A and B are shown apart, each in its own frame.
Chain A
Amino acid sequence: MKLDSKIPSGPLGQKWDKHKFDLKLISPANKRKFEVIVVGSGLAGGSAAATLAELGYSVKSFCYQDSPRRAHSIAAQGGINAAKNYQNDGDSVQRLFYDTIKGGDFRAREANVHRLAQVSVSIIDQCVAQGVPFAREYGGLLDNRSFGGAQVSRTFYARGQTGQQLMLGAYQALSRQIGLGTVKMYPRTEMLDLVVVDGHAKGIVVRDMVTGEISSHAADAVVLATGGYGPVFYLSTNAVGCNVTGTFRAFKKGAAFANPCYTQIHPTCIPVSGDHQSKLTLMSESLRNDGRVWVPKRKEDCAKSPGSIAEADRDYILERKYPSFGNLAPRDISSRAAKEVCDEGRGVGPGGLGVYLDFNDAIHRLGAAKIRERYGNLFDMYERITGENAYQQPMRIYPAVHYTMGGLWVDYNLMSNLPGLFVLGEANFSDHGANRLGASALMQGLADGYFILPYTIGHYFASSKQTRPKADDAEFRKVEEEVAARTKRLLSIKGKKTPRAFHRELGKLMWENCGMARSKASLELNLKRIPELREEFWNSVNVAGEAGDLNQTLEHAGRVADFLEFGELLCLDALTREESAGGHFRVEHQEEGECKRDDENFAHVAAWEFQGEGKAPLRHTEPLVYEEVHMSTRSYK
Chain B
Amino acid sequence: MEKGMNLTLIVWRQKDAKSAGSFATYAARNVSPDMSFLEMLDVVNEGLALRGEEPIAFDSDCREGICGTCSCVINGVAHGGQKATTACQLHMRKFRDGDTLTIEPWRAKAFPVVKDLVVDRSSFDRIIQAGGFVSVRTGGTPDGNAIPVSKEDSDLAMDAAQCIGCGACVAACKNASAMLFVSAKVSHLGLLPQGKVEQDWRVLNMVKQMDAEGFGACTVTGSCEAVCPKEITLDNIARMNRDYGVATAKGK
- Interface residues, chain A, with chain B CB atoms under 8 Å away: 47, 50-51, 54, 65-72, 74-75, 84, 86, 122, 124-131, 133-142, 156, 158-159, 161, 164-165, 168, 171-173, 175-176, 178-179, 185, 187, 210, 237, 239-241, 273-274, 276-279, 281-282, 380-381, 384-385, 387, 450-451, 454, 496, 498, 500-501, 542, 544-545, 549-550, 552-553
Contact = CB atoms under 8 A, between A and B. Distances in A.
B50 interface: yes
Contact of A159 (B34, B147, B158): B158
Given A122-B141, A136-B150, A549-B16, 6 more contacts: A84-B145, A161-B66, A173-B138, A500-B42, A542-B49, A550-B115
A126 B139 contact: yes
Nearest to A546: B54
B12 interface: no
A65 B141 CA distance: 31
B105 interface: no
B132 A384 contact: no
Given A159-B158, A498-B50, A125 B67 contact: no
Contact of A84 (B61, B144, B192): B144
The bracket for how many chain B residues form the interface is: 35 or more
B153 to A, nearest CB: 9
A130 to B, nearest CB: 5
Contact of A175 (B35, B64, B121, B129): B129
B118 interface: yes
30 contacts: A66-B59, A66-B121, A66-B122, A69-B68, A72-B67, A125-B142, A130-B134, A131-B188, A138-B151, A141-B145, A142-B144, A158-B158, A164-B162, A168-B161, A175-B133, A176-B129, A176-B133, A178-B125, A273-B34, A276-B35, A276-B43, A278-B39, A278-B63, A381-B89, A384-B85, A385-B91, A454-B138, A498-B49, A550-B57, A550-B118
Contacts of A142: 144-145
A384 B91 contact: yes
A554 to B, nearest CB: 10
B53 to A, nearest CB: 7
Contacts of A240: 60-63
A49 to B, nearest CB: 11
B157 interface: yes
Contact of B150 (A140, A239, A501): A140
A186 to B, nearest CB: 11
B82 interface: yes
Interface of B: prevailing SS? loop
A40 B251 CA distance: 41
Given A66-B69, A549-B115, A72 B61 contact: yes
Nearest to B138: A51
Contacts of B64: 75, 237, 279, 281-282, 381
B134 A131 contact: yes
Interface string B136-174: 111101111101111100110110011011000000000
Contacts of B118: 550
Contact of B141 (A128, A156, A241, A544): A128
B93 A387 contact: yes
Contacts of B145: 84, 86, 141-142
A545 B54 CA distance: 6
Nearest to B148: A140
Contacts of B93: 387
A74 B62 contact: yes
Contact of B136 (A74, A129, A237, A454): A129
A542 B50 contact: yes
Interface in B19-42: 32, 34-36, 38-40, 42
Contacts of A136: 149-151, 154-155
Given A67-B122, A161-B162, A74 B67 contact: yes
A69 B142 contact: no
B138 A75 contact: no
A68 B68 CA distance: 11
B194 interface: yes
Contacts of A381: 64-65, 89
A343 B25 CA distance: 45
B67 A65 contact: yes
Given A210-B114, A278-B42, A542-B50, A133 B157 contact: yes
B62 A133 contact: no
Contacts, number: 226
Contacts of A72: 61-62, 67
A168 B158 CA distance: 12
B232 to A, nearest CB: 13
A311 to B, nearest CB: 31
A54 B52 CA distance: 49
B136 A130 contact: yes
A142 B192 CA distance: 14
B99 interface: no
B135 interface: yes
A384 B82 CA distance: 9
B124 interface: yes
A544 B53 contact: yes
B216 interface: no
B50 to A, nearest CB: 6
A496 B133 CA distance: 49
Nearest to B35: A276
Contacts of B141: 122, 125-126, 128-129
A130 B197 CA distance: 12
**What are the 5 tightest A-B residue pairs by CB atom distance, in nearest-first order?**
A140-B148, A179-B129, A172-B133, A129-B141, A273-B34
B195 interface: yes
B101 interface: no
A384 B37 CA distance: 12
B214 interface: no
A156 B154 CA distance: 14
Contacts of B120: 66
A131 B195 contact: yes
A454 B138 CA distance: 10
A184 B68 CA distance: 22
A168 B164 CA distance: 9
Contacts of B189: 131
A454 B139 CA distance: 11
Given A69-B165, A75-B62, A239-B63, A133 B134 contact: no
Contacts of B46: 498, 500-501
A522 B148 CA distance: 55
B130 interface: yes
Looking at B66, B129, B165, B188, which has the most chain A CB atoms within 10 Å of its CB? B66
A54 B43 contact: no
A57 B192 CA distance: 31
Looking at A135, A156, A176, which has the most chain B CB atoms within 10 Å of its CB? A176
Contacts of B132: 172, 175
Contacts of A178: 125, 129
B32 to A, nearest CB: 6
Contacts of B143: 125
A550 B16 CA distance: 8
Contacts of A124: 144
B134 to A, nearest CB: 5
Contacts of A278: 36, 38-39, 42, 63
Contact of A50 (B36, B60, B138): B138
A266 to B, nearest CB: 13
Given A66-B120, A276-B39, A176 B188 contact: no
A67 B121 contact: yes
A140 B152 CA distance: 9
Contacts of B69: 65-66, 70
B147 A128 contact: yes
A186 B150 CA distance: 39
A553 B53 CA distance: 12
Given A125-B143, A133-B158, A550-B114, A172 B128 contact: yes
A51 B129 CA distance: 16
